[in-house]
Structure 1
Amino acid sequence: MMEDYQFRQAMGKFATGVTVITTEVEEEVYGMTANAFMSVSLDPKLVVISIGEKAQMLERIKKSQKFAVNILAADQKELSMIFAGQIEEGKEVPFSRLGDYPVIEGAAAQITCEVSSEHVEGDHTLFIGRVTNIHLTEANPLIFYSGRYRSLEEEEVSAI
C-alpha cells in the first residue's frame, strides 16, 4: 500500500516553478502560494490551477470567477513563504494591477485568467482559466525541488 508520505516524496521529485495565485473579492486582495499550475491549451489559451478543499482561496475564486498566476522571480522566496503561511503576515506585499487583476509586482510572469470551468477531483478543485492578459519580465524563476527552494543556474543545456 502506498503511503501519503511516499506519494509526497515522489511528487517532490518533480521540479516546479513557484506561483502565487491572486484574486480579489469585494475590493480585498487575496493570495496563496501554489506549484500546482500548468498550461492546458494554446488555442484557446488556457491554464489550470489546483486548489485544495481546505484552502480559503477555493471559495474566493469561486466567488470572483477570476485569478492571476504570478510566476515568482528567483528573488521572491520571502513572498512565497508569506503566502504559504510560513512567515507571519504583517509584511507589506507589493501588489500592482494588470488590467482589473491584482498581481505580484516583480514576478517573472503575471498571467490573468477568467474561470472557464471547474472540476472537483479528489480533495482539490481544478480551475481552468481562460488567459486574458500576460506581462513578462526578464527575471529568472524561483524553483522548488525536493522540499527546498532552488535557483536556476545559467548554463548551456541542450534543447529538448
Structure 2
Amino acid sequence: MQQVDHEIDDRLFRNAMGSFATGVTVITTEVAEEVHGMTANAFMSISLNPKLVAISIGENARMHQHIKDANQFAINILSSDQQNVSKQFSGQLNGESEITFATYKGLPILEDGLAVVTCKLYSEYVVGDHTVFIGHVTGVKLEQKDPLLFSQGKYRELKELEE
C-alpha cells in the first residue's frame, strides 16, 4: 500500500478534482418497485470486450445500497438542456418536480437524455470512502444532442473550438 500525503488540504484537493470537466449523469435503479436516482459525474468506460463501465458511489449515499440490492443500474447521460434534472437528483432544488421515467431493459430511465447505458452488476471494489461498481453493459441508447458538462462547480455547455 502506498503512503498518502496527509498534508494535502481537502478543499484544495476537491477544487483540483473539480477543475476536470466531466459529463453529468443520473444513475437510476429500482428496488421493491420504487425508483431511485442520483446525480453523478464519476463514470467511465472500462472495457470494450466485454463491455464494462464503472461508477463510483460514496459509502454514505443511499444509492450505494440500492445498487447492491437491485444488482443492476442505468446510467443516464444528460443533455445540455437537462440542468434542472441534474439539480433535482443532487438535492439542489427546493421543490421536487415530477419526473417521468421510461423503462429500458427492465430499468427506469430518464427521457430526453443524450444517452443511456443499462448494466447488470459485474463486480464491486471498496476504495477509500467509495465503492466502484463495475457494470456489464446490457443496453445502449444514443441521441444526437449536446452533453451537459460540469467543471469548477458550474454547469457548462460544449463549444467547438475554431481551427
Q: TM-score of the superposition, structure 1-length normalised? A: 0.95
Task: Give me the whole-angstrom Cα distance separating, in 2, the residues matched to 1:30 and 1:88.
Answer: 18
Gaps of 5+ in 2: 1-6
Q: In structure 2, which of residues 114, 128, 135 is the aligned counterpart of residue 129 of structure 1?
A: 135
Distance 2:40 2:156 in 1: 15
1:43 aligns with 2:35: no
Cα contact 2:88–2:96 (8 A) shared by 1: no
CA distance in 2, matches of 1:114, 1:139: 26
What 5-or-longer segments of structure 1 have no aligned partner? Answer: none
Q: Quick check: 2:29–2:108 contact (8 Å CA) kept in 1?
A: yes
Length-normalised TM-score, structure 2 = 0.93
Matched, 1:140 2:117: no
Residue 63 of structure 2 corresponds to which residue in structure 1?
A: 57
Correspondence for 1:97: 103
Q: CA deviation at 1:23?
A: 0.4
Amino acid at match of 1:62: K
135 and 85 in structure 1: CA distance in 2 versus 1, 3 angstrom threshold:
same
Supply the AA of the counterpart residue of 1:109.
Answer: A
**Equivalent position SS for 1:58:** helix
3-state SS of 2:86 partner: helix
RMSD after superposition: 1.0
Taking every aligned residue pair, what percent have the same amino acid on both sides? 54
Q: 1:84 aligns with which of 81, 86, 90?
A: 90
- 1:68 maps to which residue? 74
Structure 1's 9 and 129: CA in aligned 2 closer, same or farther, altered over 3 A? same
CA distance in 2, matches of 1:156, 1:117: 42
Deviation at 1:64, TM superposition (A): 0.2
The structural deviation recorded for 1:154 is 3.6
Moved runs in structure 1, 4+ residues, more than 2 A?
A: 154-157
**Cα deviation per residue 1:35-83 (whole Å; 9 max; x = unaligned)?**
0000000000000000001100001000000000000000000000000
* Structure 2 contact 105–138 (Cα < 8 Å) conserved: no
